[in-house]
């Protein structure tokens, strides 16, 4: 077993006041450094709720979420936001770039948000990341001047600029053609392995899930299968 960077401990999530709907039923899940995990399941199974809790975008009704061993239960909103910004990166199906900003400025947004300023070293890191995703020549172009695939690559660079422990990707290739989707996933997987962070991908694509080290299946708010590939099948 490797180092656990993210853990869900008996996590329950309910929605509603007068009529309560239980979406997650006591989920236990550990994410280890360096692994590439797919989370699969039918629509309405709780995948997005699970990802929101893993990413500290929401709090469980009961149970604990731990990031790098830190129990987030007693933390206030400001502390949660700092921990999320410094430890967790996000890539979504829709990249949510700021259209008036350049590719470089979009990549630097997490650093601006966390520190209020950006130095020379941070700018160089952002340019290095854009080069790594094949967009060095587009660094000073506005987001609106980029194709969908290019914007998704910028979103990957943005997610990685804080060098997070965990990268969470929610259907990151869902609106891309097959060739671009394969390229985007390769970038996500390689970044996780090269930098020692974990990658968790929520996907409906069985081809993408098959390329992960581990596949977790969730149905009706419960994990029903958790399969790690052997070295021979990876």
Q: What is the pLDDT of residue 231?
A: 55
Q: What is the pLDDT of residue 54?
A: 96
Percentage of residues in the chain having pLDDT higher than 70 = 97
Closest CA to 11 of 80, 70, 59, 71: 59
pLDDT in tens, 62-115: 999 999 999 999 999 999 999 999 899 988 877 789 999 999 999 999 998 888
Band the pLDDT of 192: cuts 50, 70, 90: low
Residue 69 Ramachandran class (φ > 0 left, ψ -120 to 50 alpha, else beta): left
pLDDT at 230 over 80: no
- Domains of the chain are 35-56+76-228 (3.40.50.300)
pLDDT in tens, 19-68: 889 999 999 999 999 899 999 999 889 999 999 999 999 999 999 999 99
Identify the weakest region by mean pLDDT among 11-15, 60-64, 190-194, 224-228. Answer: 190-194
Distance CA 97, CA 143 (A): 7
pLDDT at 5 over 90: yes
Q: What is the pLDDT of residue 1?
A: 55
Q: What is the pLDDT of residue 205?
A: 84
Go through 65-102 and write b for each residue having 16 or more CB atoms within 10 A of its CB, e for each that does not. Answer: bbbeeeebeebeeeebeebbbebbbbbbbebebeeebb
pLDDT at 119 over 60: yes
Q: What is the pLDDT of residue 132?
A: 85
pLDDT at 179 over 90: no
DSSP string for residues in 148-197: HHHHHHHHHHHHHTT--SEEEEESTTTTS-HHHHHHHHHHHHHHHHHHT-
Q: What is the pLDDT of residue 232?
A: 43
Tell me the chain's radius of gyration from C-alpha atoms: 18
Identify the weakest region by mean pLDDT among 80-84, 95-99, 210-214, 223-227. Answer: 95-99
């Amino acid at each position: 077993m490797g180092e656990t960077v993210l853990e869900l401990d008996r996590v329950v999530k309910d929605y509603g006041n007068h009529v309560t709907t239980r979406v997650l039923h006591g989920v236990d899940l550990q994410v280890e450094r360096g692994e590439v995990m797919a989370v699969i399941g039918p629509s309405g199974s709780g995948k997005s709720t699970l990802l929101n809790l893993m990413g500290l975008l929401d709090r469980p009704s009961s149970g604990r979420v731990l990031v790098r061993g830190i129990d987030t239960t007693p933390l206030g909103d400001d502390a949660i936001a700092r921990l999320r910004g410094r430890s967790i990166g996000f890539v979504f199906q829709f990249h949510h770039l700021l259209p008036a900003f350049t590719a470089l400025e979009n990549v630097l947004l997490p650093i601006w948000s966390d520190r209020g300023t950006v130095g020379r070293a941070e700018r160089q890191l952002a340019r290095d990341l854009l080069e790594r995703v094949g967009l060095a020549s587009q660094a000073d172009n506005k987001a609106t001047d980029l194709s969908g695939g290019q914007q998704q690559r910028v979103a990957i660079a943005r997610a990685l600029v804080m060098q997070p422990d965990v990268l969470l990707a929610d259907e990151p290739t869902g609106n891309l053609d097959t060739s671009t989707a394969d390229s985007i996933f390769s970038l996500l997987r390689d970044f996780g392995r090269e930098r020692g962070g974990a990658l968790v991908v929520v996907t409906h694509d069985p081809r993408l899930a098959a390329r992960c080290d581990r596949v977790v299946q969730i149905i009706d708010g419960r994990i029903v299968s958790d399969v790690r590939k052997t070295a021979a099948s990876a």
